[in-house]
């Protein structure tokens, strides 16, 4: 039986991940995106690596880990007006990688 991981939008006390997204330079307004990794519709019980990419051009921005038991993650210091694609990766190899989004910083 194959299990599928997914990402749903919801904020639940995430770990804040610092991001260096220099797309617009240091004076460009900044924001955050937050989401939840789920497995079969429930928040992920284990931690998942989450990589963040720009929607335009697909450039790698940052990566971090979701919170065990809640699946929550958050990326800060992102350029406003850009859209980002998060990809959840199961480091145990049980689940296939899953992309979601796009997410827009606020």
What 8-state DSSP symbol labels residue 15?
Answer: P
For the beta carbon of residue 45, count every other beta carbon within 10 angstroms.
Answer: 10
Question: Residues of the chain whose pLDDT is less than 50?
Answer: 1-22
- pLDDT for 28 equals 74
Instruction: Tell whether 104 is covered by a domain.
Output: no
Kindly report the CATH number assigned to the domain that includes residue 78: 2.60.40
- pLDDT for 25 equals 57
pTM of the model: 0.74
- pLDDT for 1 equals 38
Angle at 9 between CA 6 and CA 10, to 5 degrees: 120
- pLDDT for 11 equals 37
Could you list the residue range(s) of the whole structural domain that residue 18 is in? 5-99
Instruction: Tell whether 23 is covered by a domain.
Output: yes
- Please tell me the total count of domains within the chain: 1
- pLDDT for 62 equals 95
- pLDDT for 23 equals 53
Instruction: Tell whether 105 is covered by a domain.
Output: no
Tokens of 44: 């992920």
Residues 6+ apart with CB under 8 A from 70: 12, 13, 14, 36, 43, 44
């Amino acid at each position: 039986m194959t299990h599928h991981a997914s990402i749903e939008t919801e904020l639940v006390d995430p770990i804040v991940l610092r991001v260096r997204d220099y797309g617009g330079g240091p004076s460009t307004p900044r924001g955050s995106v937050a989401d939840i990794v789920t497995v079969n519709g429930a928040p992920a019980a284990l931690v998942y690596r989450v990589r963040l990419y720009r929607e335009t051009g697909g450039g790698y921005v940052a990566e971090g880990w979701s919170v065990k038991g809640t699946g929550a993650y958050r990326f800060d210091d992102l350029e406003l007006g850009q859209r980002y694609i998060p990809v959840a990766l199961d480091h145990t190899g049980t689940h296939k990688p899953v992309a979601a989004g796009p997410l827009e910083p606020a």
